[in-house]
Structure 1
Amino acid sequence: MLKLSQLRVADTAALHLKDATGELLYFKDPTKGAGAVEQPVLIHVYGPGSEPYRKAQLGAQRRVMALVKKNRRALEERTPEERTADTAALLADITHSVEGLDLEGRPVREGMQALYADPAAGWVADQVNAFAADWANFSKSAPKD
């Protein structure tokens, strides 16, 4: 018999980022010199069972409703730029941490929001969005990098 606690999923999981062609991304730590080994580029994401994820979803809903109310427009009438900005903010809110990405001195949320909002890097946002929405990625038996 399963215990109820066995049905819980992890709060976070690591997405091994792929490039736009689907190849897994790796980096070498420059502080390790010539002996550096390749490590996966990881984005650690809060999952749908976590409190930060639920708060991010609520925040996204509130931002959209405020925009609709302020501009007296239907939700469907948001511009592509507004939709991208909304998605970038939500994804930044559910990003816990990153490994192998140079955030150029910015805090994680700020750096990742800029990346998620960049149309030329839309493939990153697409991966994180799909990964975060899949409960299986946060199961205790999900493969770990």
Structure 2
Amino acid sequence: MLDITTQAVADTAAIHLKGADGEYLYSNGKPVRIVVFGPGSTQFSAVEARQTNRAVKRMQDNDGKVSVAPPEQRAAEQAEDLAAITVAFENFTYPPAEGKPGQELFRAFYADAKLGFMAQQVLKALRDWGNFKPGSAGN
């Protein structure tokens, strides 16, 4: 019999970032990565709950009709949510937020529209539970 718990995913994974050209990024031969909490973690669950609460509040504020937040608000919420599940940046810096502590640094990075393609990579990686398989490279 298979012990199904052997299929459990890890709480975190390191996502290897690609440049705008689609090539993996390296710094001094080391992969440029973002370590994030994945879909099996309590941190990820907390973000999902916050997203659901936002959607319900918007509906309540709009007489029960589905409504979409303005683009600026959606971008700020996405940056906040990604920052909440980010553990660390590996092998890169973000000078515009130099000196800021973890969550502030992460939020500033994710809010940078010119680097939005990197936030999209993280979002895509989060949807693939296979990236959180123990021993996965998170690619």
Pairs aligned (count): 136
Cross-structure match for 2:86: 95
**Contact persistence 2:59–2:67 (CA under 8 A):** no
Instruction: Using the TM superposition, give the Cα deviation of residue 20 of structure 1 relative to its aligned residue in structure 2, in angstroms.
Output: 1.1
Query: Greater helix percent: which structure?
Result: 1
The 1-side partners of 2:64 and 2:31 are apart by 43
Instruction: Using the TM superposition, give the Cα deviation of residue 138 of structure 1 relative to its aligned residue in structure 2, in angstroms.
Output: 0.6
> The residue matched to 1:86 in structure 2 has which SS?
helix
Q: 1:144 to 1:130 in 2, by over 3 A?
A: closer
**TM-score (ref. length: structure 2):** 0.84
Q: Does 1:128 align with 2:122?
A: yes
Instruction: Using the TM superposition, give the Cα deviation of residue 86 of structure 1 relative to its aligned residue in structure 2, in angstroms.
Output: 1.5
**TM-score (ref. length: structure 1):** 0.81
> The residue matched to 2:89 in structure 1 has which SS?
strand
Q: Does 1:17 align with 2:32?
A: no
Structure 2: state its 5+ residue gaps: none
> The residue matched to 1:14 in structure 2 has which SS?
strand
Instruction: Using the TM superposition, give the Cα deviation of residue 63 of structure 1 relative to its aligned residue in structure 2, in angstroms.
Output: 3.6
Runs of 4+ in 1 over 4 A off after TM superposition: 67-75
Structure 1: state its 5+ residue gaps: 29-37
Tell me which of 32, 38, 48 is aligned to 1:41.
Answer: 32
Q: 1:55 to 1:3 in 2, by over 3 A?
A: same
Q: CA RMSD in A?
A: 2.2
Cross-structure match for 2:71: 80
**Contact persistence 1:98–1:108 (CA under 8 A):** no
Q: 1:81 to 1:71 in 2, by over 3 A?
A: farther
The 2-side partners of 1:86 and 1:129 are apart by 13
